[in-house]
Amino acid sequence: MMVKDPKPGEPYYQEYYAGHAEDMSQIMALDESVTVPYGEFTGCIKTKEWSMLEAGSENKWYCKGLGVVRTQSTAKEVATLVSVTRP
């Protein structure tokens, strides 16, 4: 989920159902460059995301026209975009 007009600043709820889903996000940067197996991207948005119900967090890089192309958790788990299949 991405806010309509992203700007670095205060955290916000992505989802909230007390005790069941308390997902948070915070915009960290607006003009990130990211290289993943699928390609190189500029102008990406970097977020920090976490749940109030679980330990840890993850950074995500969202790139226009694709969505999330990279994630990296505090547990050092990394996921990257390797291909896209278009209909």
Burial class (CB in 10 A: 0-12, 13-18, 19+), 41: buried
Average pLDDT over residues 25-48: 97
**Does residue 17 lie within any of the structural domains?**
yes
Give pLDDT, residue 86. 86
Q: Check whether 40 has a pLDDT greater than 80.
A: yes
Counting the structural domains of the chain, the total is: 1
Average pLDDT over residues 13-42: 96
**Does residue 45 lie within any of the structural domains?**
yes
Distance CA 15, CA 54 (A): 14
Domain that holds residue 43: 12-80
**Does residue 38 lie within any of the structural domains?**
yes
Distance CA 64, CA 86 (A): 16
**Does residue 20 lie within any of the structural domains?**
yes
**Does residue 85 lie within any of the structural domains?**
no
**Does residue 5 lie within any of the structural domains?**
no
**Does residue 32 lie within any of the structural domains?**
yes
Distance CA 57, CA 73 (A): 6
State the residue for tokens 């890089």: 61
In percent, the amount of the chain with pLDDT more than 70 equals 99
Q: Check whether 1 has a pLDDT greater than 80.
A: no
**Does residue 35 lie within any of the structural domains?**
yes
Q: Whole-angstrom distance between the N-terminal and C-terminal Cα of the chain? A: 23
For residue 78, name the pLDDT band (cuts at 50, 70, 90): very high
